[in-house]
Amino acid sequence: MDRNLALEFVRVTEAAAIAAAKWVGRGDKHAADQAAVDEMRARFNQIEFAGTVVIGEGSKDEAPELYTGEKVGGGNGPEMDLAVDPLEATDSVAHGRYNAISVIVAGAKGSLLGAPDVYMDKIAAGPKAAKVIDIDASVEANIKKVAKALGKDVKDITVIVLERDRHEKLMQEIRDTGARVRTITDGDVAGAIAPSITDSGIDLLMGIGASTEAVLAAAAIKIMGGEIFARFAPKDDKQKTAIEKAGLDLKKIYSAEDLAGGDQLTFTATGVIDGPLARGVKFEGNRIVTHSVVMRASSGTVRYISTDHKVKQ
Ligand code: VTB
């Protein structure tokens, strides 16, 4: 039976997003994350499937729930590997900023890169520019090629970049071409997917972010026909050792297919706070409104789901 588990997972990300959204602006990122983790794990176990967490909250000794290797789901039904982030961009929630989501990627066994949580250098583009980006080319060359592929002037190209000191030079190089920089404080999963979304106003993502986020974004980007290239960029020896211990290649350029392979992939996300991928949770008295995106590689469908949740009195 070909079940669209992604449609069942949307109830999981909705619940996790609502739990996290209750903490928006309260200055406590740990509580926000914990609420999302608890909810995601509990909801997973109400679904009949055999899931294994490949990317989650960390190793078993770091995280009691949704750790790497944890089995989730009822245990019967399809076997799937999972990459999850119950709350991507915890700081944004704590500080009431922009761009946080709850996200689940599922794939066939062995299809998701089991990357340790280290840095990767990334470049991501949408379908029209998927074939012209090159992580080894200069910033200028990439921007010019993307502009040409999109039929735009360079001055109308917008590159989304994580706002970090390490990106000062990158941002200057982007501005020197005449293109625009749009910074985000966190959330380069939605940031990397944004160029693949029509009318997001974002044409490219560039810069260094987390490797686990690269895998999550890759699934959606692949389904939408865009591209992401990523290469490990360890910030210290500890990260370098973690990559080597995982048996991964420090020099390899990973494509979307290398990060999230095959056609059994699904991507499910619910907005916690408004961002380029989905609007955030709204609390409206006796209703809670959520916005989600559900994508499936085998059919290529991209569903946008708005849900009105009745609040139990
Ligand atoms: C990014 C961002 C994430 O981690 O991947 C970032 O998108 C990378 O790490 O939301 P630094 O914060 O050290 O730059 C997050 O901020 C959190 O996972």
pLDDT tens, 38-77? 999 999 999 999 999 999 999 888 899 999 999 999 999 8
Mean pLDDT across 258-284? 97
Label residue 239 exposed, middle or buried (CB < 10 Å: 0-12, 13-18, 19+).
Answer: middle
Do 102 and 135 sit in the same domain of this protein? no
Q: What would you report as the CA-atom Rg of the chain, rounded to the nearest whole angstrom? A: 18
Q: Residue 250 C-alpha to ligand 1 middle, in angstroms? A: 20
Confirm or deny that 156 is annotated as ligand binding. no
Do 80 and 149 sit in the same domain of this protein? no
Residue 5 predicted with pLDDT over 50:
yes
Do 236 and 277 sit in the same domain of this protein? no
Angle of helix 5-21 versus helix 29-44 axis, rounded to 10:
150
Do 151 and 230 sit in the same domain of this protein? yes
Instruction: Please tell me the predicted confidence (pLDDT) of residue 2.
Output: 55
Do 106 and 139 sit in the same domain of this protein? no
Confirm or deny that 91 is annotated as ligand binding. no
Residue 4 predicted with pLDDT over 90:
no
Mean pLDDT across 134-148? 98
Q: pLDDT band for position 312 (50/70/90)?
A: confident
Confirm or deny that 88 is annotated as ligand binding. yes
Beginning with the edge strand found earlier in the chain, give each strand of the sheet holding 180-184 in spatial order.
180-184, 158-162, 204-210, 119-125, 227-232
Tell me the pLDDT tens digit for each residue of 179-199.
999 999 999 999 999 999 999
Is residue 251 within 8 A of residue 273, CB to CB? The reply is: no
Do 135 and 67 sit in the same domain of this protein? no
Pocket mutation for ligand 1, best pick of 90, 95, 188 (most atoms within 8 Å of C-beta): 188
The domain of 245 spans 119-259
Angle of helix 168-177 versus helix 139-150 axis, rounded to 10:
50
Q: Residue 209 C-alpha to ligand 1 middle, in angstroms? A: 6
- Which CATH number goes with the domain that contains 269? 3.30.540.10
Residues 182 and 204: their CA atoms lie apart, in Å, by 10
**Residue 227 to residues 10, 43, 260, 278, Cα–Cα distance (Å):** 24, 31, 11, 20
The residue from 217, 244, 259 where one domain ends is: 259
* Torsion, Cα of 51, 54, 57, 60 (10° steps): 90
Do 160 and 233 sit in the same domain of this protein? yes
Tell me the pLDDT tens digit for each residue of 72-107.
999 998 999 999 999 999 999 999 999 999 999 999
Do 108 and 63 sit in the same domain of this protein? yes
Do 251 and 125 sit in the same domain of this protein? yes
**Residue 180 to residues 156, 230, 294, Cα–Cα distance (Å):** 7, 22, 30
Q: Which residue has the tokens 């989501």?
A: 101
Confirm or deny that 168 is annotated as ligand binding. no
Residues 120 and 250: their CA atoms lie apart, in Å, by 10
Q: pLDDT band for position 163 (50/70/90)?
A: very high
Do 36 and 92 sit in the same domain of this protein? yes
Residue 152 predicted with pLDDT over 80:
yes
Dihedrals phi, psi of 169, to nearest 5 degrees: -65, -45
Tell me the pLDDT tens digit for each residue of 208-258.
999 999 999 999 999 999 999 999 999 999 999 999 999 999 999 999 999
Which DSSP symbol is given to 233? -
Residue 16, Ramachandran bin (φ over 0: left; ψ between -120 and 50: alpha; else beta) = alpha
Mean pLDDT across 3-17? 93
Closest C-alpha to ligand 1, atom 16: 186
- In percent, the amount of the chain with pLDDT more than 90 equals 96
Question: Against a cut of 0.85, is the pTM above it?
Answer: yes
The total of structural domains in the chain comes to: 2
Dihedrals phi, psi of 227, to nearest 5 degrees: -145, 145
- Which CATH number goes with the domain that contains 171? 3.40.190.90
Q: List pocket residues of ligand 1, CB cut-off 6 Å.
A: 88-89, 162, 164, 186-188, 209-210, 213
Q: Which two tokens stand for residue 137?
A: 């080319």
Residues 296 and 196: their CA atoms lie apart, in Å, by 15
Do 71 and 196 sit in the same domain of this protein? no
Closest C-alpha to ligand 1, atom 11: 209
DSSP string, 66-133: S-TT-EES-SSS-EEEEEEEEEE-HHHHHHT-S-EEEEEEEESTT-B----S-EEEEEEE-GGGTTT-
Closest C-alpha to ligand 1, atom 14: 209
Angle at 212 between CA 211 and CA 218, to 5 degrees: 90
